[in-house]
Structure 1
Amino acid sequence: MGEQPMPDPDGAADLAGFIDLLGQLRAWAGMPSYRLLAKRVGSQMQGAVPLSTVVDVFKAERRRLDLDLVVAVVRALGADEPTVRRWRTACVRVHGEAKTGGTAGVLGQLPTDLVTFTGRRQELTRLIEAATRPRDDEGANTVVISAIEGMAGVGKTQLAIRAAHQLVRSGHFRDVQLHVNLRGFDAELPAADPSAILEAFLRQLGVPVRQIPATRDERAAMFRDRLRDRHALILLDNAADEDQVRDLIPASPTCLVLITSRRSLTALDNAAPHPLDVFTESESLDLLARIAGAERVAAEPAAAADIAEYCGHLPLAVSLAAARLRSRPAWTLRHLADKLRDGRLNAIHSGGRGLRPAFHLSYEELAEPLRRIFRLLGHHPGPDTTPAQLAALADITTDEAEDALEQLQDEHLVTQPTIGRYELHDLLRLLAVELAAAEPEPDPAAPLTRLATWCVATGYAAAVAINTPNLTGRAPETASFADYDEALTWFDRERNTLAAVQRAAAEAGLHDHVWQLAEARKHFFVLRRHLDEFRTAQQLAVAAARAAGDRRTQAAMIGALGGVYWMTGQLDESEDCCRQARRLHQELGDVRGEAAVLISHGVVHNQRGNHEGSVDLITQALDLLDGPDTLKLRAMALVNRAVVDKYGPGRRPRAVSELREALAIFRQCEDRHNEAFALGNIADFLLMDADLDTALTLYGEQRELGRQLGDAYIEAEALRGTGDVHAATDHTADARQAWSEALALYEQIDHPKAAEARQRLSRPDSEVYGFVRER
């Protein structure tokens, strides 16, 4: 044997390196002839081995070696059995890396472009334009870097490959095309070493192995030198982070670097981000048809749409579902859709490929504190979250929560469709729920309890800011709102979240949170005319109060439910609630509560046309109301009795007097909503009494209050009355203008009075005043 040391097979970074080391082993063995080696190898393998077969083992361009032949060659070169085993292990390793596109996965040509590539027209156009756009002198010395970013399975690699092929076919970057899978997210193999990638790139560029520098910095410098002024395209797929790719980027402005990553590579200088979202519905259906068959998809369009929806329009999920269909021709699309509906993550797989491993890799890459945050998002029942909500959920500060959400966004595990609001893709949400169940918090109920507590406290603060009347059991206000508009905007933004939290709290048995969440939102529901949601929330509140055995709260919640039924025209249900609530208040000795229910019951009677019964019930309520703490409730009773009194002969003077008394009380209590209603009712009476100037002034005040409060119904009522005054003075054009504006507002909130406004507008000018007189 020669004096040089035996080469170490563990030093083989890839298959080419392994073959080079085999050559060094032959040199170590004294350079035996290939003919001699063939004889030795044949004796081991019990048969003649052609000379050419042994020669081929040492050819650097080989892409695969026969393992048994390599073992025989190593033995023939004089290695002992432990050494032979090391060479055998190294041979298996480099073949495995080559197969997975590892450090030896640098190809002289681009990966195959899939014929099933679908959609992405805008994204592809943007990439091509960025790569080919003429640059001014200031940017002439900068390499073009496009970073395609997005969640696992969103199709980053296929988009990059399609863009690369399209560029090369159109005559760009014809000199060199390099590609490597950097294995930034790989379940079995570590992320590729940039230094090894540089070695492989340099060999691809024709640099002899012995001339490749030893250090990463030197290799990067040589790489940049070799690509100077060459039209090269470098595709760096599945990058782990900025550090992994930084030295793989040439310096020449004639080069293009396409990078794909699940992370946002924000620290990479001059890189233009190309965030990739999930498919549109049409793109999902197109991919499903391309793989599973257009005829099958066309035959079951509804099931196809469901499959796309259950896959969350994620390209990988859709392709896996489609491949499963293709391999099972007996299946209907509805059969698969039902399996996806029931199984989701478990059902989205085909052969050995599945969606769950791809997602789980992204999760495993997180540090444990961030993993906990991701798991806790599985406890959040709403459609999205905010830093404040996450802070409550995780029991951390708002700043810590915002930082965590931003990090998850950088990992493409959440998205931020609007400033300050973060969403999980449906399938990632399922993963978060599973992980939360698999690794529960010390107290599994604590996250939802904390979130519901935050929602209640903040909701009550917002309710106070929008002048919500008669709040029951007010919670501590841990938040504050600058003004009415800010509070109303908060309710608008958190509408879906609050509903989801209330449902989740009901399922978890958080009874107090359930009814308090209904209570905090009741005035908001009326303002925005979300009456169906109001009814649902209030039904949950009644059930929660009953389950808790809280009879006082139960009475209040049933009474409020009766009010919702009245607003939605369910008068029988409303009366039943009034009777139940009154009986509970009487049993509790709650005179004020009983009076409130009597007023509501009187309103229902008035709606039915039983005006005398209505007046009687409201009068009973007034008889029960005494003392300063009942002042606002008394004012409400006066308003409602006055409204009924318009139908009673000779009662109009009393009605106007009571309305003015109520108006003074509402102003004293700074209850602007009820002030607006009192103004409108007084104006209605003045209109009937032909005091038109005063009526017009009051309608104007009512409309201004409606604008300030953001209450479309109040503003519509003021416009309706304004139009009536104009009609009474024979200004029909002004009347129609006001009624048209009122109609638009009624329609905006889907209010039944829209029909009455249309009737007004449909009348000829000659009948307009008569119609108003009929009111």
Structure 2
Amino acid sequence: MISAQMLIMRAMAGWLVLRFGVLGPLHIQKGEEQVTVRAAKQRTVLALLLIHRGGTVPTERLISELWDHDPPVSARGTLQSLVSRLRRSLGEDRATDGRLLVGNASGYAFALPDDASLDLQEFDQAVAGIRARSAAGPAADLADDLADDVDRALDLWRGAAFADVPASPRIVVERTRLEEARLALWETRADLRLARRLNDEVIAENTALLADHPLRERLWEQLMLALYRSGRRHEALTVYGDAERLLTAELGIGPGEGLRRLHGQVLAGSVPPAAPEPRAPRLSASPAQLPPAIPDFTGREEELARALTVLGRAPAGGSAPTVAVSGMAGVGKTTFALQVAHRLRGNFPDGQIYVDLWSGESRPQAQSPDEVVLRFLRAIGMTGRDVPSDPDERVAVYRSALANRRILIVIDNATDEAQVEPLLPGGPTCAVLVTSRKPLSGLSGARHIVLDVLSAGQALDLIASVVGPDRLAREPATAAELVDLCGRHPLSLRICSSRLAARPHWTIGTLTKRLLDERLRIDELEYGRKSVRASFTLSYEALEARARRLFCLLSLVEAEDFAAWVAAPLLDTTVREGEHHLEVLVENQLVQVAGRDGAGQTRYRLHDLIHLYSGDLAERHIPVSERRDAVARLLGAWLTLTDRAHETSYGANFLLNHGTFPRWPLAPAYVGQLLADPWAWWESEHRSLVAMVAQAARACLDEAAWDLAVTSTTLFGTYGYLGDWQTTHETAFAATVRSGNRRGEAIVMSHLAGLRIYQQRHTDALDLLAPAADTLARLGERRAEALCYVAMGIAERGRRDRRRALSHFHRGHELLRDRGDALAEAHVLLHTGQTHLALGDLMAAERSLRSARSIARSVDGGPLEGYIDHWLGSAHLGRHDAAAAAEAFSRAVTRVSSIGDARAEAMALQGLAHAHLQSGERDTAEHVLSLAGAAAQRIPDSATATRTLSGIGRLLADLRA
């Protein structure tokens, strides 16, 4: 037997023919010898290299394909081993001249010898030739010439493409493309046979094809036509019925226009005979206008597959396949579109025409569609005398010229749908790929692909493809930091990669340090003709004045995301107008939609780099005083909403003392709608509240900082956001101390003490409350001083000094008496009654609690009534009035659960369980305790949840003992 090495050498010398096949199971033939590649991953590597036909496939891309973006640590070594074993399977070694598998610094390539053959290449060439000849005239004129070509192309197939090659992203894309092209050839063969009146052959083949491709309407149409022309009109109508039922069942829609039209013709007996149509005028040019695609394109596999599937399908239906690609500036729309277009060149043998609708100036130039149509007509070979002067006639001639041609039309950087619509072909033979920063949602029939920033892994792959994987491997943590600083923004990453590639003496850390300064980061993101600032500026300068101003002012919002109402105070306008300008920014990809929150609001955000760019513009174009006024209005709007949310929840201003910072008025109807569920709104906005307190403090707006912090206390306490409570109050406290704001300082201290009480750090709370009460007394702030004494009483009760607690409550009650603050008075009486209960004085406890409940009811005390009912229930338990206790605890559960206070709900359910136990209803008590346990598990603060669950557990254990 001749050795494999000798076979290869003879093949290289022309003695034996090497043949490779992927149109079916992977096939390798050396003369009479067949080579089998048994390992699945080796077959994948070989298939990927054959697809690229001599082009280098980067190592990282091969790894990504083999392990689906989740490679093992040893992936590079494993790939080298796979390549080595594949070489042995092919009979290669390092001593062989003219090696097939060629490795280089960036990856591997398959060097197909000149006298070798690859069925994939033969098929693509055959398809291109067939399409070119078909475009030259109607099928009837060329049927005899084309039939053999089509048969030979289809005979290349031995089964499904890459049948025994494991699926990988690129294999799936290529398999889909090839199968689509094969189907298109089958349809072409049927057309050719119909033109030559070979109806029986069409009936036989299309019937078999429809078993595997039942949604292919063109196959149904050809089968109907063949049956009708064979004198089998009834069967043709039956076929239409079958197609209609199947398409409706599978797709929810009936047959398309072509199939319906043929059905009508069959019914009327008016089907055109198989006769040649008039020859269309010939156009000589086959333009190839695509700019080059970048060789190190990275990521976007899912989006690529979608675009290739839509644009690469065979002509069908009445309109050209169209894909509209949108995304923010610098996200890689043009790069993506060119990658798609170059991969599809073989599908469009009559050429590819390209136009960039931006002229390269600093501002987009709305080129006339009429001018672009003229350029396109010249590109496809039409001379000046043949071009009409009337714009509408020119578009009609343009569409007529494209009617029988396979041309890919790439329209880059479209401003709006009006620029694109006149450039769309009239029929299905061409395809259109459009890019725009706007979504172009009004473009009829277009499939939309929105490009976002890259994933972290794709971003690292991009850097590695430019600077080399070894350089990246030396500084993995720093490379990850670079990705974060660039916000995974493709243009920024490519600029950074280019700068590193041009400066081999730089480490990645060198560039990362230069990007750390936010004031200079945008300026650093520039290299050659690439500039992030210039890219963003194109979008910015397309805006009208008010939208530009809003874009600049949004840089002042330091929250991670925000709701639409934020635009109103920034612009000092209505919510409706502010939201309109905000949506303009969204359409122009300068603001991103981050999702919807629990209150039903749409959340918006700025990409980190756009936020820096916006801030730079604000500093340049908006005076400091106007920026400060905008921040003040924004904080005033926040205070308006937090005030109203608190009042909606508690029925009044419950236990709060406010500052003098001016509120900014939002429309009452809008506020009422927004705060229909105040707790949902608060839950959605708590992170933004923390950010705004910090922003107010940094802006030296201490009055706003402390007022916003203390107004949010009820949110933090109810939902257990103890960290936010601590952070906002420490921030506000520092701001008031810096500015000498004694009143604000004392009130913030009292609310920090409330946090300490919540944490059961009662002595720490008293250390804060005593000086706060003294300061407030000197300032004449009687209400605030009274609330300090109430808090001191709660702290003393926590330390079990109940007599001292009562004295503090009495002092607080004296200060509140006759001030008309019913809720504060009810609050004092609640804690007085609770303390009497702890002392065992049931009569005094019930007297105080009933008074508290009566006052709270008179002003619709909301959740306060629930807290009072809880302790009334405890008093009834003390008197062994289980029925009254159960009623009170049930009322408490209803009240506190309505505001989402899981801690109070769990405690009230515990009390209700005690009441049922006191009545001898042990099963009911056990059920209620299980509900209490479920409520306790919803308590956000883990320490409080643990304590509550522990108490419930002990009670359950006693119950089951």
Superposition TM-score, scaled by structure 2 size: 0.63
Q: Distance in 1 between matches of 2:687 and 2:756?
A: 22
In structure 2, the CA distance between the partners of 1:266 and 1:188, relative to structure 1 (3 Å rule), is closer
Structure 2 equivalent of residue 408 of structure 1: 585
Structure 1 equivalent of residue 297 of structure 2: 117
In structure 2, the CA distance between the partners of 1:297 and 1:568, relative to structure 1 (3 Å rule), is farther
Structure 2 equivalent of residue 21 of structure 1: none
Q: Which amino acid aligns with 2:637?
A: W
Q: In 2, are the aligned partners of 1:535 and 1:565 still within 8 Å (CA)?
A: no
Structure 2 equivalent of residue 51 of structure 1: none
In structure 2, the CA distance between the partners of 1:168 and 1:667, relative to structure 1 (3 Å rule), is same
Secondary structure of 2:435's partner? strand
Give the Å deviation of 1:460: 1.6
Structure 2 equivalent of residue 433 of structure 1: 615
Q: Distance in 2 between matches of 1:522 and 1:602?
A: 19
Q: Which of 771, 776, 785 is equivalent to 1:580?
A: 771
Structure 1 equivalent of residue 288 of structure 2: 108
Q: In 2, are the aligned partners of 1:730 and 1:769 still within 8 Å (CA)?
A: no
Structure 2 equivalent of residue 449 of structure 1: 632
Q: Distance in 1 between matches of 2:328 and 2:463?
A: 20
Q: Which of 482, 493, 497 is equivalent to 1:322?
A: 497
Structure 2 equivalent of residue 542 of structure 1: 733
Structure 1 equivalent of residue 900 of structure 2: 710
Q: Distance in 2 between matches of 1:185 and 1:425?
A: 24
Identity %: 30
Structure 2 equivalent of residue 528 of structure 1: 719
Secondary structure of 1:466's partner? helix
Give the Å deviation of 1:420: 4.2
In structure 2, the CA distance between the partners of 1:288 and 1:718, relative to structure 1 (3 Å rule), is farther
Q: In 2, are the aligned partners of 1:373 and 1:394 still within 8 Å (CA)?
A: yes
Give the Å deviation of 1:434: 0.4
Secondary structure of 2:556's partner? coil
Give the Å deviation of 1:362: 1.6
Give the Å deviation of 1:249: 1.8
Structure 1 equivalent of residue 217 of structure 2: none
1:559 aligns with 2:772: no
Q: Which amino acid aligns with 1:130?
A: V
Structure 1 equivalent of residue 546 of structure 2: 369
Equivalence map 1:591-610=2 (5 Å): 591-610=782-801
Q: Which amino acid aligns with 1:720?
A: Q
Q: Distance in 2 between matches of 1:328 and 1:733?
A: 77
Q: In 2, are the aligned partners of 1:405 and 1:422 still within 8 Å (CA)?
A: no
* 1:705-757 CA-partner distances (Å, limit 9, x unpaired): 12322322322222333344456667666555544443443343323232134
Q: In 2, are the aligned partners of 1:184 and 1:239 still within 8 Å (CA)?
A: no
Q: In 1, are the aligned partners of 2:353 and 2:408 still within 8 Å (CA)?
A: yes
Q: Distance in 2 between matches of 1:605 and 1:334?
A: 56
Give the Å deviation of 1:562: 1.6
Superposition TM-score, scaled by structure 1 size: 0.77
Equivalence map 1:150-549=2 (5 Å): 150-168=327-345, 172-183=347-358, 186-187=361-362, 194-214=369-389, 216-342=391-517, 343-418=520-595, 420-441=602-623, 443-467=626-650, 468-473=653-658, 478=666, 479=668, 480-481=671-672, 485-546=676-737, 549=740
Q: Which amino acid aligns with 1:198?
A: V
Q: Which of 717, 721, 746 is equivalent to 2:911?
A: 721
Give the Å deviation of 1:631: 4.4
* 1:57-99 CA-partner distances (Å, limit 9, x unpaired): xxxxxxxxxxxxxxxxxxxxxxxxxxxxxxxxxxxxxxxxxxx
Q: Which of 734, 745, 754 is equivalent to 2:935?
A: 745
Q: Distance in 2 between matches of 1:216 and 1:184?
A: 22
Secondary structure of 1:629's partner? coil
Q: Which of 295, 318, 325 is equivalent to 1:148?
A: 325
Secondary structure of 1:417's partner? strand
Q: Distance in 2 between matches of 1:762 and 1:329?
A: 65
Q: Which of 652, 664, 668 is equivalent to 2:858?
A: 668
Secondary structure of 2:413's partner? strand
- Judge which range, 690-699 or 735-744, deviates more: 735-744
Q: Distance in 2 between matches of 1:492 and 1:275?
A: 30
Q: In 1, are the aligned partners of 2:657 and 2:784 still within 8 Å (CA)?
A: no
Q: Which amino acid aligns with 1:560?
A: H
Give the Å deviation of 1:469: 0.3
Q: Which amino acid aligns with 2:534?
A: P
In structure 2, the CA distance between the partners of 1:312 and 1:738, relative to structure 1 (3 Å rule), is farther
Secondary structure of 2:424's partner? coil
Give the Å deviation of 1:412: 1.4
Q: In 1, are the aligned partners of 2:654 and 2:824 still within 8 Å (CA)?
A: no
Secondary structure of 2:677's partner? helix
Q: Distance in 2 between matches of 1:764 and 1:400?
A: 58
Q: Distance in 2 between matches of 1:769 and 1:659?
A: 33
Task: Specify every segment of 5 or more residues in structure 2 that has no aligned partner in the other structure, as ranges.
Answer: 1-285, 596-600
Q: Distance in 2 between matches of 1:612 and 1:629?
A: 27
Q: Which of 653, 657, 670 is equivalent to 2:843?
A: 653
Give the Å deviation of 1:435: 0.4
Give the Å deviation of 1:189: 9.2
Secondary structure of 1:710's partner? coil
Secondary structure of 2:410's partner? strand
In structure 2, the CA distance between the partners of 1:422 and 1:550, relative to structure 1 (3 Å rule), is same
Give the Å deviation of 1:152: 0.8
Give the Å deviation of 1:251: 1.0
Q: In 2, are the aligned partners of 1:107 and 1:179 still within 8 Å (CA)?
A: no
Backbone CA RMSD of aligned residues: 3.2
Q: Distance in 2 between matches of 1:487 and 1:203?
A: 64
In structure 2, the CA distance between the partners of 1:684 and 1:324, relative to structure 1 (3 Å rule), is farther
* 1:567-615 CA-partner distances (Å, limit 9, x unpaired): 2344444222201111113223444433321221121222234344333
Equivalence map 1:58-77=2 (5 Å): none
Structure 1 equivalent of residue 11 of structure 2: none
Q: Which amino acid aligns with 1:378?
A: S
Give the Å deviation of 1:252: 1.1
Task: Specify every segment of 5 or more residues in structure 1 that has no aligned partner in the other structure, as ranges.
Answer: 1-105, 771-775
Q: Which amino acid aligns with 1:516?
A: D
Structure 2 equivalent of residue 131 of structure 1: 311
Q: In 2, are the aligned partners of 1:558 and 1:581 still within 8 Å (CA)?
A: yes
Q: In 1, are the aligned partners of 2:933 and 2:952 still within 8 Å (CA)?
A: no
Q: Distance in 1 between matches of 2:310 and 2:834?
A: 69
Structure 2 equivalent of residue 635 of structure 1: 826
Q: Which amino acid aligns with 1:492?
A: E
Q: Distance in 1 between matches of 2:864 and 2:329?
A: 54
In structure 2, the CA distance between the partners of 1:408 and 1:653, relative to structure 1 (3 Å rule), is same
Q: Distance in 2 between matches of 1:592 and 1:762?
A: 41
Q: In 2, are the aligned partners of 1:348 and 1:354 still within 8 Å (CA)?
A: yes
Give the Å deviation of 1:553: 4.2
Secondary structure of 2:454's partner? coil
Give the Å deviation of 1:564: 2.1
Q: In 1, are the aligned partners of 2:322 and 2:445 still within 8 Å (CA)?
A: yes
Q: Distance in 2 between matches of 1:112 and 1:519?
A: 60
Give the Å deviation of 1:390: 1.2
Give the Å deviation of 1:673: 1.6
Give the Å deviation of 1:191: 5.9
